[in-house]
Amino acid sequence: MKAGGDMKIAGKAVCVFVLFTIKVMSTVGNLEVSAVVGSTSVLTCTPRPNTTMIIWKMSPKVGGPCTLGYRADHNKTDRTNCSDSINWRSRPDQDPALEIRQVGIAHEGNYTCEVVATEGNFHEMYHLTVLVPPRLTVRCDDDDGRPVCEAGAGRPAAQIWWVPESNSPPREEAHDNGTVTVLSKFAAYSTNVTNATCFMSHPVWNQSMDVGCPPPENTNLTRLYVSIILCFLSIIPFVAVMYYFKLHIDRLCHKTKTPETAPTDSPQEDTMEVEPYTIYVQKENVIYNSVSDLTAGQNLPQGLSPAT
């Protein structure tokens, strides 16, 4: 009987110890929360009566651990290695919630609120995931003219599909900041389809865009026309420059060449050269006339004299 009584007492003691342990240490499971980059996120912490201490412990994905603390007996708060964007939402003795302003990818990680009260210690744990909305764009491919859909720089990677259905799988490209770009080129089972709708699914939002591209034949023809025009436009400046240089060189050659001038004699010099000959002829004529008159007078019969 005594042994049985001791066993009952021991069993009650174990039950009391277990209940006391549960009462002293109460932990809420790891809660998954998400926030859009650039927004404000609030992580709640349940207030307890007769609280003596509140501690927020943070382990972000980038950077070292961060701690915010409050002691009720001193009515004092302190912080260790925490950025200005992380702070209490209000007075910790009234509302021990944590506020994260301008959420960035670096804030992603684990957050734990620990409350020490007369009833025991209580923990609430969170895992924060930061979402980045992708930018949806559509275009026609430069090479083959097929529709292309791109969900750029999203976190996590977006899901893309086409209507009508495409038989080409999307391609993902990861970036250094943790975002992912998803690219999908439309490839229909029927080659005649050139208009399609791209659908994007993401935790931040869902979106769709229509895209229509010309047939490949028209695309090639247009590309040929553009090439011819560009070639023609590139020749015009070359011809203009060559013409300018040729015209400039011709002008320089014309200016440097000395014109040939024929020698000219002045009228005065001609007159001076001719006048002596004229005077000489006149003198000869006078002499000749005088001699003729004299000869004629000698040959006349007597009684006649030459007329004077």
Mean pLDDT by 10 residues, the chain (308 residues): 48 40 56 97 95 96 92 95 94 95 96 96 97 97 92 98 93 96 90 86 97 72 71 81 75 60 50 49 51 48 46
Give DSSP secondary structure letters for 150-202.
EEEEEBSPPEEEEES-BSS--EEEE-TTS-EEEEEE--BSSTT--EEEEEEE-
Looking at the structure, tell me whether residues 52 and 84 fall in a common domain: yes
Looking at the structure, tell me whether residues 58 and 150 fall in a common domain: no
Domain membership of residue 276 (yes or no) is: no
Integer Cα distance of 114 and 120 in angstroms: 10
Please report the pLDDT score of residue 53 as a whole number.
Answer: 97
Looking at the structure, tell me whether residues 89 and 154 fall in a common domain: no
Q: Can you tell me which residue has the tokens 């790891």?
A: 30
Domain membership of residue 70 (yes or no) is: yes
Phi, psi of 70 (to 5 degrees): -140, 130
Structure tokens at 205: 């939002």
- Tally of domains in the chain: 3
Q: What is the CATH number of the domain that holds 53?
A: 2.60.40.10
Looking at the structure, tell me whether residues 141 and 151 fall in a common domain: yes
Q: Of the candidates 53, 31, 43, which has an alpha carbon nearest to the alpha carbon of residue 120?
A: 53
Looking at the structure, tell me whether residues 31 and 110 fall in a common domain: yes
Domain boundary among 111, 131, 151: 131
Q: Of the candidates 111, 195, 212, 198, which has an alpha carbon nearest to the alpha carbon of residue 158?
A: 198
Looking at the structure, tell me whether residues 151 and 173 fall in a common domain: yes
Please report the pLDDT score of residue 254 as a whole number.
Answer: 64
Domain membership of residue 204 (yes or no) is: yes
Could you tell me the residue range of the domain that residue 184 belongs to? 135-213
Integer Cα distance of 30 and 93 in angstroms: 24
Domain membership of residue 176 (yes or no) is: yes
Neighbours of 136 (CB within 10 A): 22
Domain boundary among 82, 97, 131: 131
Please report the pLDDT score of residue 81 as a whole number.
Answer: 94
Please report the pLDDT score of residue 231 as a whole number.
Answer: 78
Max Cα distance, the chain (Å): 227
- Counting beta carbons within 10 angstroms of the beta carbon of residue 135, is it exposed (0 to 12), middle (13 to 18) or buried (19 or more)? middle
Say how many CA atoms lie within 13 Å of 253 toward its Cβ.
6
Looking at the structure, tell me whether residues 159 and 195 fall in a common domain: yes
Looking at the structure, tell me whether residues 109 and 156 fall in a common domain: no
Domain membership of residue 188 (yes or no) is: yes
Please report the pLDDT score of residue 236 as a whole number.
Answer: 86
Looking at the structure, tell me whether residues 30 and 110 fall in a common domain: yes
Please report the pLDDT score of residue 129 as a whole number.
Answer: 97
Domain membership of residue 258 (yes or no) is: no
